[in-house]
Amino acid sequence: MKTKRLVVGKVERSWLVGAVLVTLIYFSWWLNWDNGDNKVMYGLLFGTEVYHVLSSLLFWITIWPLSRGKRKQLVLRRELNLGQQPSVDVFITVAGEPVEVVEKTVRAARDMDYGNHKVFILNDGYVAKKDNWEEIRDLALREGVNCITREIPGGAKAGNVNNGLRLTEGEYVTILDADMIPQKEYLKTLLSYFDRPEIGFVQSPQFYQNSRENEVTRGAWQQQEFFFGPIMAGKGQLNSAFICGTNFLIKREALVGVGGLNETNIAEDFVTSVKVHQAGWTSRYTTEILAKGLAPEDLMSYYKQQLRWARGSLEVLFAQNPLFMKGLSWGQKWQYIFSALYYLNGIIVFVDIAVPLFFLMTGISPVKTSSSNFAFYFIPYILLTFLIINSISRGRLTFRAISFSYSSWWLQIIALISVITGKKMGFSVTPKTKQNGDYSALAYPHMAYVGLSMIGFLVAMYREGLSAGVVTNIAWVSFNILIFWPFIKTALGWSPREVGVPVGQEVAVVEVKSRNG
Amino acid sequence: MLLMFGASLVLGFVSGLTIFSQSIRLDESQSLWAASHTFEGVLRFVAQDVHTPLYPILLHVWLTAFGYNIITARILSLVFFLLSLVVLWLVLTENVEKRLILISFVVVTFSPFLVWYGSEARMYTLFMFFTLLNVLFYLRMVSQPIGGWQKWGVWYFLAGVGGVYTHYFFFLLLGVEAMYGLWRGISRQVEWKWVRNLALAQGGMLLALSPWIWFALKQGLFRNMAPSLTRPSLYGLMVGWVEYFIGYQSIKMTGTVLSLWPVAVLGVILFLTTWVKTKIKHVGFWLLWAVVPWAVTFVVSFWKPVFLPRYLIFTLPAILIVTSWIVVEVFRLRTRVWVLATIMIIMLGLFWRESDLEASRVVENYNKVALALNSEVGLTDKVVVSSPFTIIPLEYQFYHPNRIETIPKWNRYFPGPIPAFEMAKMEAQINEYKKTYTRLFVLLSYDQGYETKIQDYLDHNLERLDQKEYSTNMKLFVYRLRYDIDVPHLTAERP
């Protein structure tokens, strides 16, 4: 059988060793406190650098198993013995998604090439007060699948799944979001990865079939592709792959054993994975694309999705920090921290973009050594990092994806504030169709930054002319604005320019051959 | 081909303007001085210098044939510059995709740094010529692992021998070639036999240079003729890189461009996150070629200072071609006439600024000093210069009967190194002048580590009558030596 898989490149181990070295050398510059001018600003920047360096080191560790010579097979070439087909319950979680979207998923799930599975639509439309909840029920009747409609709300998606768990009994459970259309071989392939009894769950990528639709879907997909490519592949080989909400298959015993999906956090999948690993189960990850879904098609949907993920992950970091949990290996602890840390990026980016602006406005500098001295430490670090990223992703992490990620700083700050203040955020399903509207407001913070930078430039020129400090800080401000630029353009609806992976090369095709058949 | 012809014409014209209009520079005067010796004298002179003998020998022959003057000497550099362009064209067409060829060719060809040396009577265009020739054959052999050595091996070897006889830094290029060859051997992209052939060829080049090394050691290699270099700073290293792009501009302009490095870094990030459409064959080699010699020279300089950006001119094609590649990809540039014309205009504009006599920090205006001295110096005046070897460019246009002397005193016609500076000897030298002369004209234009001592001594012991700066770091001081005779009035005119 043939399937497609996400591209995961290879990287030389020597590069990774070199990367660790240049990262430490770079950090040594920051450890020299004599470089600081204004100590408060230097301290702030120092804090951001601790974050950058820690993230970099954890990234090198994550992709270490993917380095040349070290790497195990990412795609398992083993065929399931069809004589022993365990029962599988397929849960399709629905909360008001359009019927035509759900219909495709239901049909594909029902028609999967497997003889012992039951499809359940977990219909939360009623409790979520969606107009189409009855249409979903009718759809189930029409397509000959089961439908479980909750009448008592609670626990959002996790509550819906747990309700389904109570009413079903298959040995394995798989969860599909309403838009995730599974391939024929979805179940067979995922089951083939359970080749050892201690394996609790297997996660597969979330592929966006509408990734070429517009700038937002492209940006969202390109971010996803890097996460579900090298990062999750590395985590999979470190027994730290975690559940990503959909497209995973889990042993009922493992899921029920931890009390079902966690209902206390909107990142229910993430927290549940921690608990499953704590209980001694192991996890696997496959890069094979076994289900295809929909990326958020407009910036507001993207924003809501990111906000939810950020809120959930930061809550884990602050309230249920895996570092202090028993039952996890140190590797797993740090891998979970690595994933959750990403959403602290907001505050880090904020400090990084504010410091040069502050200098332009006030003339107060965080550092006193020459910028060329700093460049000597910084350039090898940043270039080697991107060289490795380019190599491990085979050039698929685009500048647009980086821009979307970098530009999410302020929504991540909102999420951080909500976690710190304990303000609750509701679980909202990412819309599966394009929402119309003017989303330029999402780029107001970035446009304000551009405006303030121009004012800062004039202030600095008036104060000290085109001094080396002014030029350097103008360069840093320009650096930030150029990264924001693709995001601003998307928010304003300006015509894009495609510089990413050409059409038709998004995924590499790999033929999966059976080991015993 | 049309572009190459056109570029050559433009360059010929531009360089022609410089060749005829610019003052002789210190380094050029040394080239002329070296070439003015007999054949054996040239070898002896160069052996005490920091360089290898091929260029002075060629210059000697060239000047003997076409006349001993600075313009003729500069034309030889122009000839090798134009020949280098032909080889550059071949290297590009054989290794770079069509989309990039013209743009990178124009960027390298009109690089103000390279154009500067295209009209300077020094060995740098010859060095560039052999570098490109050697790389051309090397890459042919890499692309053709089987049979390549039979076809191109001899040419590779000869170009290498030419290179090592032109500049010691050519060995850095050979080192890069060895590294890349070794990597290809380890990664089994070429057979070990190929790597062995490379090692033999490079060993042969070293062997070919060994008679010269033996001769130079016997003569006393680097004996006081070498420029006094200091340990490079990180700033100096980055300035060197910037100069490769914008040439020798004012310190302010260079500093401003240098401060923009974060934007350049972002450009590289953009490149690394862009789906690259244009390919360069053996890109690993190009990257090593651009970076390794700089890194090695920089590190070695902490032990023995040898870092001078112009010594690394052989890396310029790699640096500029890789940069062009990045720019072409990031901006999705296509080869259009307006793109090429814009690059050309920017580059020539930078060269024009670089050559501006008033603004440039590298133009050495010995001509103007010599002309001023010709009109101001009287029979009772003495002219001295320091460092000693700056006497050569000054003498080129100094027609006064009074002989110029140097501090420390140096007799060029006597074999051996330049004497070391000693305060006591200088005092004796000045006291000697007091017996005969009324005024002392002192030109300080190249600091070998004792310029401040000279100036301090003179300022504390003699009355300073005047001071003029003719170009960056080129200062002429006038001191009164005795009071029993009236000094002539200084001319009111200022440079």
Radius of gyration of chain A (CA): 24
User: What pLDDT score was predicted for residue A429?
Assistant: 55
Cβ–Cβ contacts within 10 Å for residue A323, how many? 12
Distance CA B127, CA B168 (A): 10
Residues on chain B touching A497 (C-beta within 8 angstroms) = 332
User: What pLDDT score was predicted for residue A499?
Assistant: 45
User: Quick one: three-class SS letters along A418-461?
Assistant: HHHHCCCCCCCCCCCCCCCCCCHHHHHHHHHHHHHHHHHHHHHH
The answer to whether residues A233 and A285 touch, using CB atoms and an 8 Å cutoff, is yes
Q: Does A482 contact B263 at a Cβ distance shorter than 8 Å?
A: yes
Q: Please, what is the Cα angle at A102 between A98 and A104, to 5 degrees?
A: 125
User: What pLDDT score was predicted for residue A442?
Assistant: 87
Nearest to B318 by CA among B279, B283, B270: B283
Q: Does A371 contact B261 at a Cβ distance shorter than 8 Å?
A: yes
Cα first-last separation, chain B: 46
Q: Does A379 contact B265 at a Cβ distance shorter than 8 Å?
A: yes
> For A97-115, how does the pLDDT look when each residue is reduced to its tens digit (9 = 90+)?
999 999 999 999 999 999 8
Q: Which residues of B touch A (CB under 8 A)?
A: 234-235, 237-239, 255-256, 258-263, 265-266, 268-270, 272-276, 332
Distance CA B392, CA B383 (A): 13
Residues on chain A touching B276 (C-beta within 8 angstroms) = 395
Nearest to B91 by CA among B116, B62, B117, B128: B128
Q: How far is B239 from chain A (nearest CA, A)?
A: 9
**B-chain residue closest to A470, CA distance:** B259
- The pair of three-digit structure tokens given for residue B304, joined into one six-digit string: 């023995």
Candidates A388, A499, A505, A506, partner chain B, best to mutate (most B CBs within 10 A): A499
ipTM over 0.90: no
Sign of CA dihedral B287, B289, B295, B299: positive
Q: Does A479 contact B258 at a Cβ distance shorter than 8 Å?
A: no
Q: Taking CB atoms and an 8 Å cut-off, how many pairs form between chains A and B?
A: 89
Distance CA A203, CA A196 (A): 15
Q: Does A501 contact B275 at a Cβ distance shorter than 8 Å?
A: yes
Burial of A151 (C-beta count, 10 Å sphere; 0-12/13-18/19+): exposed
Residues on chain B touching A392 (C-beta within 8 angstroms) = none
Residues on chain A touching B238 (C-beta within 8 angstroms) = 372, 375-376
Residues of chain B with pLDDT under 70: 1-5, 8-9, 12, 15-16, 220-229, 335, 357-363, 415-417, 486-495
Residues on chain A touching B259 (C-beta within 8 angstroms) = 371, 468, 471-472, 475
Residues on chain A touching B322 (C-beta within 8 angstroms) = none
| Mean model confidence pLDDT for chain A | 87
3-class secondary structure, A501: coil
Distance CA B377, CA B441 (A): 8
Q: In this complex, which of A373, A472, A478 lies closest to B234 when CB atoms are compared?
A: A373
A69-73: which pairs have CB atoms within 8 A and are 24 or more residues apart?
A: A69/A13, A70/A13, A71/A10, A71/A237, A72/A237
Q: How far is A372 from chain B (nearest CA, A)?
A: 6
- Amino acid occupying residue B105: F
Rounded mean pLDDT, A130-152: 91
Q: How far is B307 from chain A (nearest CA, A)?
A: 17
3-class secondary structure, A13: helix
Residues on chain B touching A460 (C-beta within 8 angstroms) = none
**How large a percentage of chain A has pLDDT more than 70?**
90
Q: Does A471 contact B265 at a Cβ distance shorter than 8 Å?
A: no
The answer to whether residues A271 and A317 touch, using CB atoms and an 8 Å cutoff, is no
Distance CA B488, CA B146 (A): 78
Q: How far is B235 from chain A (nearest CA, A)?
A: 6
3-class secondary structure, B94: helix
Peptide bond into A153 cis (omega under 30): no
Q: How far is B258 from chain A (nearest CA, A)?
A: 8
H/E element holding B443?
Answer: strand B439-444
Residues on chain A touching B258 (C-beta within 8 angstroms) = 371-372
Distance CA B143, CA B281 (A): 9
- The pair of three-digit structure tokens given for residue B449, joined into one six-digit string: 């580590």
> For B209-255, how does the pLDDT look when each residue is reduced to its tens digit (9 = 90+)?
999 999 988 876 655 455 666 777 888 888 888 999 998 888 888 88
Residues on chain B touching A35 (C-beta within 8 angstroms) = none
Q: How far is A43 from chain B (nearest CA, A)?
A: 21
3-class secondary structure, B468: strand
Distance CA A507, CA A212 (A): 13
Q: Does B259 contact A475 at a Cβ distance shorter than 8 Å?
A: yes
Distance CA A99, CA A136 (A): 6
Sheet holding B463-471, edge to edge: B405-406, B381-386, B439-444, B474-480, B463-471
Residue A70 CA to its chain's centroid (Å): 25
User: Quick one: three-class SS letters along A299-358?
Assistant: HHHHHHHHHHHHHHHHHHHHHCCHHHCCCCCHHHHHHHHHHHHHHHHHHHHHHHHHHHHH
Residues on chain A touching B323 (C-beta within 8 angstroms) = none
Q: Does A376 contact B238 at a Cβ distance shorter than 8 Å?
A: yes
The answer to whether residues B293 and B176 touch, using CB atoms and an 8 Å cutoff, is yes
- The pair of three-digit structure tokens given for residue A356, joined into one six-digit string: 């040069």
Rounded mean pLDDT, A388-393: 90
Chain A 451-510, residues with CB within 8 Å of chain B CB atoms: 466, 468, 471-472, 475-476, 478-479, 482-483, 497, 499-502
> Which is more confidently placed, A78 or B443?
B443
Torsion, Cα of A435, A436, A440, A442 (10° steps): -20
Rounded mean pLDDT, A222-236: 91
User: What pLDDT score was predicted for residue A87?
Assistant: 94
The answer to whether residues B185 and B142 touch, using CB atoms and an 8 Å cutoff, is no
- The pair of three-digit structure tokens given for residue B186, joined into one six-digit string: 């380890």
The structure's pTM equals: 0.82
The answer to whether residues B311 and B167 touch, using CB atoms and an 8 Å cutoff, is yes
Q: Does A391 touch chain B (CB under 8 A)?
A: no
Distance CA A62, CA A58 (A): 6
User: What pLDDT score was predicted for residue A321?
Assistant: 86
- Give one word for B468, left, alpha or beta, with left for phi > 0 and alpha for psi -120 to 50: beta
**Beta pairing partners, B440:** B382, B479
**A-chain residue closest to B254, CA distance:** A468
Residue A272 CA to its chain's centroid (Å): 16
Residues on chain A touching B283 (C-beta within 8 angstroms) = none
- C-alpha distances in Å from residue B144, one per residue of B199, B205, B452: 17, 22, 58
- Amino acid occupying residue A45: L
User: What pLDDT score was predicted for residue A514?
Assistant: 44
Nearest to A378 by CA among B144, B15, B261, B425: B261
Q: Does B269 contact A482 at a Cβ distance shorter than 8 Å?
A: no
Q: How far is B97 from chain A (nearest CA, A)?
A: 19
Distance CA B462, CA B476 (A): 15
How far is it between the farthest Cα atoms of chain B? 85
Q: Does A399 touch chain B (CB under 8 A)?
A: yes
Question: What is the β-pairing status of strands A282-285 and B405-406?
Answer: unpaired
3-class secondary structure, B290: helix
Q: In this complex, which of B235, B263, B268 lies closest to A478 when CB atoms are compared?
A: B263
User: What pLDDT score was predicted for residue B493?
Assistant: 46
Cα first-last separation, chain A: 11
**How large a percentage of chain B has pLDDT more than 70?**
91
Sheet holding A181-182, edge to edge: A181-182, A291-293, A207-208
Residues on chain B touching A386 (C-beta within 8 angstroms) = 268-269, 272-273
3-class secondary structure, A54: helix
> For A297-317, how does the pLDDT look when each residue is reduced to its tens digit (9 = 90+)?
888 888 888 888 888 888 888
Q: What is the DSSP code (8-state) at residue A496?
A: P
User: What pLDDT score was predicted for residue A358?
Assistant: 96
Nearest to B267 by CA among B184, B328, B199, B181: B328
Q: How far is B264 from chain A (nearest CA, A)?
A: 9
Q: How far is A195 from chain B (nearest CA, A)?
A: 35
**How large a percentage of chain B has pLDDT more than 90?**
43
Peptide bond into B143 cis (omega under 30): no
Q: How far is B323 from chain A (nearest CA, A)?
A: 14
Q: Does A383 contact B265 at a Cβ distance shorter than 8 Å?
A: yes
Q: Hey, which of A204-213, A492-501, B22-31 has the most confident mean pLDDT?
A: A204-213
Q: Does A372 contact B256 at a Cβ distance shorter than 8 Å?
A: no
Q: In this complex, which of B259, B262, B274 lies closest to A468 when CB atoms are compared?
A: B259
Half-sphere exposure of A347 (CA within 13 A, CB side): 17
Torsion, Cα of A394, A400, A403, A408 (10° steps): -100
H/E element holding B3?
Answer: helix B2-21
DSSP codes of every residue in A273-300: HHHHHHTT-EEEE--EE-EEE----SHH
* Model confidence at A49: pLDDT above 70: yes
* Model confidence at A509: pLDDT above 50: no
